[in-house]
Structure 1
Amino acid sequence: MAAPILKWKRVTNTTGPQPRPRHGHRAVAIKDLMVVFGGGNEGIVDELHVYNTATNQWFVPPVKGDVPPGCAAYGFVVDGTRILVFGGMVEYGKYSNELYELQASRWEWKRVKPRPPRNGPPPCPRLGHSFTLIGNKVYLFGGLANDSEDPKNNIPKYLNDLYTLELRANSNVMSWDIPDTYGVPPPPRESHTGVAYTSKDKPKLVIYGGMSGTRLGDLWILDINTMNWERPTVSGVHPLPRSLHSATLLGNKMFVFGGWVPLVLEELKGPNNEKSEWKCTNTLACLNLENMSWENAMMEKFEDQMPRARAGHCSVGIHSRLFVWSGRDGYRKAWNNQVCCKDLWYLETSVPGSPGRVQLVRASTTTLEVCWGATPTADAYLLQLVVTLSEYEHLEQDR
């Protein structure tokens, strides 16, 4: 059976206060809501915006409490309605290792001070790390630190350390832990992605791509049950190495979109032919995590029907849709001198499920009222009415 052709759709006619375009922001999903925080564009912002995918509406929650300073390239996870923000860039060259909690049920911020690990120091200030929730623990991996105490004298230090943060129900007491791991860990990196995937009751942390002076295209898996690192064999056509991309899990597939990719000579494509320049991309790659194979994502190629190239965007999976918002569409030498995208798109990654059973509400000789259970990602419904010959004769007699 041929693979379906995936189609992007641009979201238009949204209502409510739309956020300013930016990059380095993050987003999480709570039911039908996409919650967006932070990022930068002519300065780093502390704004919180929410997009309701069911009503096509943006809104700004009335937040209270310990609102964190603006940050970019930070860690962002959600557990139910509890959102955690860790680290990120707060000023150019100045990074954070602060932890904040947002309770989305009442839009209240709170600064959290976890206990340090028993076997080492707490995480250092960083940006571009991955922050992934698996079970009741958040896994912090890698990122970029400044090896200089002077923010104006930035000495980059790529990290590959691993910390866990246990979340306890109805408790604000948190502690960092440095877990023992086995096998060869991934090399240091930043601006990579981490997703959580569970197969046959085996939870895994999947680390992909990133930057370590050059863009990376390698894939690593941490088995949470054994805490063993592995670099699996992946089949299929591998996408170009990239950083500042997004990776979103929908079902058993990890959808990788956009990011910075190296400029590679067409006749010399390969992992070691990167120039000193790079470009943004709008390519989509799909990794089947069940059989560890890169699949060919059949896409419509019309430029006006797909997002333009970008990096530093945010993405979330809601139902079967992959939502992508903003990001920068090119590279400038000054970090805050970027061209940021204003658009919101979604990709339908699977055929919408069947709606609930059609039920008769009321009927007369001229009208028929029915109802059925809605499908969240359906744009329209086709209702087929079948009238038997005997029913038609009765209708004629009634006339």
Structure 2
Amino acid sequence: MAERHRSELVAQERSGHTAVVEDNLLYVWGGYVTIADDEVFLPNFEIWIYDMDRGLWEMSSMRGDVPPAMSGTCGCSLNGHLYIFGGCDNNGQTNEIYSVNLLDGKYTWKKISKASGAPPSPRDKLSCWVFGGRITFFGGYGHKLRNDINRRNFILDEASWVDDVYWGWNNEVHVFDPNHASWTEPQTNGRPPAPRAAHASATLGSKGYVCGGRVMETRTNDVHCLDLETWTWAEIVSPLSAVPVGRSWHSLTAVADSSLFLFGGLSVDCKPMSDGWLLNVETKKWQEISHPYENKPRLWHTASAGKDSDVIVFGGSCDYILLVDTGHCNDALVFQTEPYPLFRSCVDYIAKNVSICKMLGDQIPLLPSKLQHIVHRRMSYYRPPKNRTPLE
């Protein structure tokens, strides 16, 4: 078993990290923080685990083929494993892929170095969709040799080039199959989104959605959908109504069979935002929602789907990080996007009020043992010890 540490721990502030949820545990790896005007990558041999029922953090050491410390990786969870691809380390952007089993308690990284097919070029600030046991990667900012550039899916960053190496934005689609350790680049149909980075993506059923992002010097608010079975692109054009402003470094999370939740990001005028929106992909209508974190702007954070359609936003920055870059965060914001089931509402009510209602406390021992365990775990959330994160 990997070494675990629990006493008085809270995950450090960070941006550009990776986070996924498995069994109501939030796993956080990597990212960076600013120290004395320097960007410092956080330790790569640590994985932080947050128990969302109890409100407790712990940190476990990692082993194996540990990836370099970096930010801007693309991460996802598939069959109990965390996969990360790309990112930026001290040597620049990478195109390596790693995996780690989150369920065996060992946290041993494996570098997948013998995959067949051609991997994507080095890049960061990309996104991915998980469907059919495969991971589909889209977009990002990175570099290519001049002879490898296809102007149809790569926009040059005219200010960034060295000899025959050019940086820029892409709209490429690459698929990684973990079962066969293989890379493929499917031929897509329809009109694809413009090349971009720092966008947000989410999977609903057999379709992958991409929203906004940075396209050269512009931040967009367009929404596109890729059918992951037919590889056909379609743009989601909303009726004339309120729509989110263009942005980058935001998040998009599937919260129901037909709904996506958008939060935060950096606006066209470089303003950190805290607005929340729901997109119904069937009616193609946006709805801005009120929430308790409207005074907590976030960008380059992570957003993970929890139980009962909760969205857990962790970390990120509350500043325009290209100018200020001091406001990294370590609080986790829980957004309730749908009414809770009666069972959860009852458990939360008991756990929250047992300390002020003697009758509730006296009746807990009368509950079935399994239900007692659930209630006691939830009680620790509402009566947190010192090492509880400021999860709200």
* TM-score, scaled to structure 1: 0.75
The aligned residue for residue 58 of structure 2 is 59
Superposition deviation, residue 89 in structure 1: 0.7
Superposition deviation, residue 28 in structure 1: 0.6
Q: Is the 8 A contact 1:15 1:56 kept in 2?
A: no
Superposition deviation, residue 122 in structure 1: 2.5
Equivalent in 168, 189, 194 of residue 196 of structure 2: 189
Equivalent in 162, 166, 182 of residue 177 of structure 2: 166
The aligned residue for residue 386 of structure 2 is none
C-alpha separation in 2, matches of 1:61 and 1:223: 38
Superposition deviation, residue 334 in structure 1: 6.1
What does the per-residue CA deviation read over 1:19-38, in whole Å, with 9 as the maximum and x for residues that have no partner? 21111112111011111111
What does the per-residue CA deviation read over 1:205-247, in whole Å, with 9 as the maximum and x for residues that have no partner? 1111110121011111111222111112223421011100011
C-alpha separation in 2, matches of 1:176 and 1:17: 39
**Residue 291 in 1 paired to residue 283 in 2?**
yes
Q: 1:15 to 1:292 in 2, by over 3 A?
A: farther
Superposition deviation, residue 196 in structure 1: 0.8
**Residue 223 in 1 paired to residue 230 in 2?**
no
Q: 1:56 to 1:332 in 2, by over 3 A?
A: closer
| 5+ residue gaps, structure 1 | 1-13, 264-277, 359-365, 381-399
Equivalent in 324, 327, 336 of residue 348 of structure 1: 336
Instruction: Report SS of the residue matched to 2:247.
Output: coil
Instruction: Report SS of the residue matched to 1:190.
Output: coil
1:218-367 to structure 2, matched below 5 A, reads 218-235=222-239, 236-251=241-256, 252-263=258-269, 278-299=270-291, 306=294, 308-319=296-307, 320-333=309-322, 337-355=325-343
Q: Is the 8 A contact 1:16 1:57 kept in 2?
A: no
Q: 1:86 to 1:332 in 2, by over 3 A?
A: closer
Q: Is the 8 A contact 1:144 1:157 kept in 2?
A: yes
The aligned residue for residue 107 of structure 1 is 107
C-alpha separation in 1, matches of 2:142 and 2:119: 13
- Give, as a single letter, the amino acid of the residue that structure 2 aligns with 1:206: Y
Q: 1:177 to 1:234 in 2, by over 3 A?
A: same
* TM-score, scaled to structure 2: 0.76
| Corresponding pairs, count | 326
C-alpha separation in 2, matches of 1:246 and 1:293: 18
Q: Is the 8 A contact 2:139 2:173 kept in 1?
A: yes
Superposition deviation, residue 16 in structure 1: 4.3
Larger helix fraction of residues:
2
Q: Is the 8 A contact 2:275 2:294 kept in 1?
A: no
Q: 1:219 to 1:15 in 2, by over 3 A?
A: farther
**Residue 132 in 1 paired to residue 124 in 2?**
no
| 5+ residue gaps, structure 2 | 1-5, 34-38, 147-159, 347-361, 380-392
Deviant stretches of 4+, over 6 Å: none
Larger strand fraction of residues:
2
What does the per-residue CA deviation read over 1:165-223, in whole Å, with 9 as the maximum and x for residues that have no partner? 1132xxxx41100111111111100011111111xxxx101111110121011111111
C-alpha separation in 2, matches of 1:43 and 1:299: 32
Q: CA RMSD in A?
A: 2.8
C-alpha separation in 2, matches of 1:140 and 1:328: 24
The aligned residue for residue 268 of structure 1 is none
